Amino acid sequence: QVQLVESGGGLVQPGGSLRLSCVVSGSIITFYTMGWYRQAPGKQRELVAQITSSGTTIHADSVKGRFTISRDNAKKTVYLQMNSLKPEDTAVYYCRLGASSNYWGQGTQVTVSS
C-alpha cells in the first residue's frame, strides 16, 4: 500500500532553519503533484507549498521567500526547506501524494520558539 513518511521536524528558535523530508513507498511519484500542508492547533489544515510533476512550484504567501519545496523522483522524496522560521510557523506538517488524494503522511511536528 501507499505510505508517506515525513521526518525532519523539531524545536527550533525563531530565525532558524529546518529541512523536512517525505519519503513515499508503494508508489512512484514521478507523475504526481506533491504538496506540503500544515495544521496549527485550533486551525484548519492549509497548503504550504506544491510542486507539479514538471517541477512548477507554488508557495503560500505566508512562506514565500522563506520556504522552498523540491523533489527527487528517483528517491521518491519531497523536501521542504524552511528558513527564517517564525513562531507562527509552528504546526504539524504533512505531505500529500497528488493534488486531491487521500494519501497523507502521519505528520511531523515543527515548533518555533525561543
Helix H or strand E segment including 48? strand 46-51
The predicted pLDDT at position 103 comes to 94
**What would the pLDDT profile of 19-60 be if each residue is shown by its tens digit?**
999 999 988 888 999 999 999 999 999 999 999 999 999 999
Confidence at 68, pLDDT banded by 50, 70, 90: very high
The predicted pLDDT at position 78 comes to 98
Confidence at 102, pLDDT banded by 50, 70, 90: confident
Q: How far apart are CA 33 and CA 35, in angstroms?
A: 7
pLDDT reading at 100 higher than 90: no
Q: Report strand pairing: 10-12 vs 108-112.
A: parallel
Confidence at 86, pLDDT banded by 50, 70, 90: very high
Count of residues making up the chain: 114
